[in-house]
Amino acid sequence: MFNFSLGSNRSDVDISQIFDVVIMGAGPSGLTAAIYAGRYRLKTLLIEKKLVCGGQLATIAHVENYPGFDTTVSGSHLAQEMEKQAIKNGAWILQGHIESVNFTGQIKELNTPKGVIKTRAVIISTGAQPRMLNIPGEQQHIGKGVSYCATCDGHLFIDKTIAVIGGGNTALEETITLTKYAKKIFLIHRRNEFRADKIIQEKIRMIPEIEFMLNTTVKEIDFGKDNERKILVHTKGQDKTIHLDGVFIFVGIIPNSKPFLDALNLKEGFITSDEDMKTCIEGVFVSGDVRYKSLRQITTAVGEGATAAFSANKYLTEKR
Ligand code: NAP
Fold adopted by 132-249: FAD/NAD(P)-binding domain (3.50.50)
User: Ligand 1 site: residues with CB under 6 angstroms?
Assistant: 65, 133, 166-171, 173, 190-191, 195, 250-253, 296-298
Residues 31 and 124 sit within 8 Å (Cβ to Cβ)? no
Q: Where are the chain's structural domains?
A: 2-129+253-319, 132-249
Pairing of strands 115-124, 284-286: parallel
The string of pLDDT tens digits covering residues 120-145 is 999 999 999 999 999 999 999 998 89
The string of pLDDT tens digits covering residues 29-82 is 999 999 999 999 999 999 999 999 999 999 888 888 899 998 889 999 999 999
Q: Which residue's C-alpha comes closest to atom 48 of ligand 1?
A: 195
Q: CB-based burial of residue 155 (10 Å sphere; 0-12 exposed, 13-18 middle, 19+ buried)?
A: exposed
Q: Which residues pair with 109 in a beta bridge?
A: 102, 118
The string of pLDDT tens digits covering residues 263-273 is 999 999 999 99
How many A from CA of 136 to the centre of ligand 1? Answer: 21
**Does 2-129+253-319 match 132-249 in CATH topology?**
yes
pTM of the complete model: 0.84
Q: Which residues have a Cβ under 8 Å from the Cβ of 72 and sit 6 or more positions away?
A: 62, 63, 64
**H or E element at residue 218:** strand 216-222
Q: What is the DSSP string of 42-57?
A: --EEEEESSSSS-GGG
Residues 27 and 289 sit within 8 Å (Cβ to Cβ)? yes
Q: What number does CATH give the domain 2-129+253-319? A: 3.50.50.60
Which pLDDT does position 3 carry in this prediction?
Answer: 39
Active site amino acids = 149, 152-153
